[in-house]
């Protein structure tokens, strides 16, 4: 009888665990990691077994930062600027973070955390960071401008504790903090599985600034790869144990100077060319055949999580989803002589879809207002071009939106642009 009771207890426990896993099988969760200052070409010079695991599970994509070089959205290839381009899905002309001082972010362009909390206030968010400003300034925790957004869990600020982490000239304290940040992220994800998590690691950028190209920097990349592996292992464990569906994305914020690998901030190819590792194999045609943007990460996350992003925000996002099918991309516009507006885009495949082209001559969105868009007309998506005869040319800015069944693309004509 005792044996029967024990067997029954084991069976009930097994069924309960199995039911729990099935119940949570549709749960979607996200981790994105920014590891600072690793140019695309440097990945070939370092030992990166864990990034290669992610690549083998999904893809390692060629990417870029820096907006449209020489255009209205040209964006400094600087750390905090790149972080915010990921967080908001927009370039610097919108999010307004031009350097690491982060003086005046434009919170009208919501981060992924605000979009997520607006729809799912009871779900959990987390940030694990070697730089506290990521939470306090970029995410804007507890600020009126972000509607008092609160992260459910944060692990950061150790760089300010100079007693526990004395600041040595070789940035050994940053290496130690990175290790603690990644360890906490792996442990917390294993035990608590927050729904959206951001991990930030800094040591590679410090080694780049100090030493530039060479073995010291390449070994730092390998060190960060080990930390990424700990977090990825935690995610894989959760997927097996609980049947959760995790999107795991790793990227960097900028490349490095072509001459010696020390600096960054400009628009050279090496400073702009980056990479995105993603654990999903079903990337779309756009992602397979193009150098994708850091701004593509936010719409990929919102789509994966089935977030209902307000239309006004959708019309401002500068990236597109890397997973679901996207036929149109790279929208551009210009004013030709005699007030003729030319709008062009590229397509991944032929399509008979009729698309709509809209325009507004205001930019109220940047001040939390709304822009009134005028429908200019319709055309076939495969045409890749739309021409419109404007009646007047009276504004310093025109915002153009292409509406397709798959989503929005936007571009600007700004007369004081470079």
Q: What is the mean pLDDT of residues 269-280?
A: 98
Given a contact cutoff of 8 angstroms between Cβ atoms, the answer to whether 300 and 323 are in contact is yes
DSSP strands (E only) in 101-173: 125-129, 153-155
Q: What is the pLDDT of residues 36-84, one digit of tens each?
A: 999 999 999 999 999 999 999 999 999 999 999 999 999 999 999 999 9
Cα dihedral sign for 310, 315, 316, 317? Answer: positive
Could you give the CA distance from residue 113 to residue 130 in angstroms, rounded to a whole number?
A: 18
Between CA 150 and CA 159, with CA 156 as vertex, the angle to 5 degrees is 145
The pLDDT, as a whole number, for residue 20 is 44
Could you give the CA distance from residue 28 to residue 216 in angstroms, rounded to a whole number?
A: 38
Token readout for 328 is: 């149109």
On whether the pTM is more than 0.75, the answer is: yes
Domain positions in the chain: 27-314, 328-414
Could you give the CA distance from residue 387 to residue 403 in angstroms, rounded to a whole number?
A: 16
DSSP state of 396: S
What SS3 class is residue 67? Answer: coil
Could you give the CA distance from residue 87 to residue 315 in angstroms, rounded to a whole number?
A: 16
Given a contact cutoff of 8 angstroms between Cβ atoms, the answer to whether 39 and 61 are in contact is no
Q: What CATH superfamily classification does 27-314 receive?
A: Alkaline Phosphatase, subunit A (3.40.720.10)
Strand 196-201 and strand 125-129: pairing?
parallel
Question: Same fold for the domain at 27-314 and the one at 328-414?
Answer: no
DSSP state of 25: T
Cα separations (Å) of 192 from 29, 105, 242, 250, 281? Answer: 12, 31, 12, 21, 26
The pLDDT, as a whole number, for residue 416 is 73
Q: What confidence category does residue 17 fall into, taking pLDDT thresholds of 50, 70 and 90?
A: very low
Given a contact cutoff of 8 angstroms between Cβ atoms, the answer to whether 412 and 73 are in contact is yes
Q: What confidence category does residue 398 fall into, taking pLDDT thresholds of 50, 70 and 90?
A: very high
Cβ-based neighbour number of residue 26 at 10 Å: 9
Given a contact cutoff of 8 angstroms between Cβ atoms, the answer to whether 62 and 43 are in contact is no
Could you give the CA distance from residue 409 to residue 386 in angstroms, rounded to a whole number?
A: 14
Q: What is the pLDDT of residues 147-204, one digit of tens each?
A: 999 999 999 999 999 999 999 999 999 999 999 999 999 999 999 999 999 999 999 9
CA 194 to chain CA centroid, Å, is 17
Cβ-based neighbour number of residue 392 at 10 Å: 7
Contacts 24+ apart (CB under 8 A), 214-221: 214/261, 217/42, 217/261, 218/42, 218/45, 218/46, 218/47, 219/46, 220/175, 221/38, 221/42, 221/43, 221/45, 221/46, 221/48
Cβ-based neighbour number of residue 296 at 10 Å: 27
The pLDDT, as a whole number, for residue 26 is 66
Residue 15 has pLDDT above 50, yes or no: no
The mean predicted confidence, pLDDT, of the chain is: 94
The pLDDT, as a whole number, for residue 18 is 42
**Topology classification of domain 328-414:** Immunoglobulin-like (2.60.40)
Residue 13 has pLDDT above 80, yes or no: no
Given a contact cutoff of 8 angstroms between Cβ atoms, the answer to whether 273 and 255 are in contact is yes
DSSP state of 12: H
Strand 28-35 and strand 196-201: pairing?
parallel
How much of the chain, in percent, has pLDDT values that exceed 90? 93
Could you give the CA distance from residue 406 to residue 72 in angstroms, rounded to a whole number?
A: 25
What SS3 class is residue 258? Answer: coil
Q: Of the candidates 277, 279, 321, 275, which has an alpha carbon nearest to the alpha carbon of residue 296? A: 321
The pLDDT, as a whole number, for residue 308 is 97
Residue 5 has pLDDT above 70, yes or no: no
């Amino acid at each position: 009888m005792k044996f029967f009771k024990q067997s029954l207890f084991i069976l009930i426990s097994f069924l309960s665990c199995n039911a729990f896993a099935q119940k949570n099988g549709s749960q979607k969760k996200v981790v994105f990691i920014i590891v600072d200052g690793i140019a695309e070409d440097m990945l070939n010079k370092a030992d990166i077994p864990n990034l290669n695991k992610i690549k083998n599970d999904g893809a390692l994509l060629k990417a870029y930062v820096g907006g449209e070089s020489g255009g209205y959205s040209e964006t400094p290839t600087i750390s905090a600027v790149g972080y915010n381009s990921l967080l908001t899905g927009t370039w610097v002309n919108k999010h307004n973070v031009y350097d690491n001082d982060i003086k005046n972010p434009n919170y009208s362009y919501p981060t992924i955390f605000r979009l997520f909390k607006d729809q799912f206030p009871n779900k959990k968010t987390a940030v694990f960071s070697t730089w506290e400003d990521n939470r306090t300034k970029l995410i804007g925790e507890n600020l009126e401008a972000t509607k008092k957004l609160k992260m459910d869990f944060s692990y950061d600020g150790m760089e300010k504790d100079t007693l526990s982490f004395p600041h040595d000239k070789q940035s050994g304290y940053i290496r130690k903090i990175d290790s603690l940040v990644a360890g906490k992220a792996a442990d917390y994800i294993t035990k608590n599985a927050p729904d959206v998590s951001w991990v930030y690691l800094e040591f590679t950028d410090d080694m780049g600034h100090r030493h530039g190209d060479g073995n010291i920097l390449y070994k730092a990349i390998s060190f960060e790869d080990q930390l990424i592996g700990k977090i990825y292992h935690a995610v894989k464990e959760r997927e097996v144990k609980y049947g959760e569906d995790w999107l795991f994305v790793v990227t960097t914020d900028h490349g490095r100077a072509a001459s010696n690998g020390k600096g960054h901030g400009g628009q050279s190819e090496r400073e702009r060319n980056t990479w995105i590792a993603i654990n999903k194999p079903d990337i779309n045609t756009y992602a397979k055949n193009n150098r994708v943007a850091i701004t593509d990460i936010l719409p990929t996350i919102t789509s994966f999580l089935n977030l209902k992003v307000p239309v006004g925000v959708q019309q401002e996002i500068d990236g597109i989803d890397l997973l679901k099918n996207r036929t149109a991309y790279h929208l551009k516009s210009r004013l030709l002589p005699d007030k003729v507006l030319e709008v062009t885009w590229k397509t991944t495949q032929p399509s008979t879809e009729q698309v709509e082209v809209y325009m507004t001559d205001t930019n109220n969105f940047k001040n939390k207002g709304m822009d009134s868009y005028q429908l200019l007309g319709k055309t076939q998506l495969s045409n890749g071009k739309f021409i419109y005869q404007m009646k007047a040319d009276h504004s310093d800015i025109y915002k153009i939106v292409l509406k397709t069944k798959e989503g929005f693309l936007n571009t600007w004509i700004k007369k004081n642009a470079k």
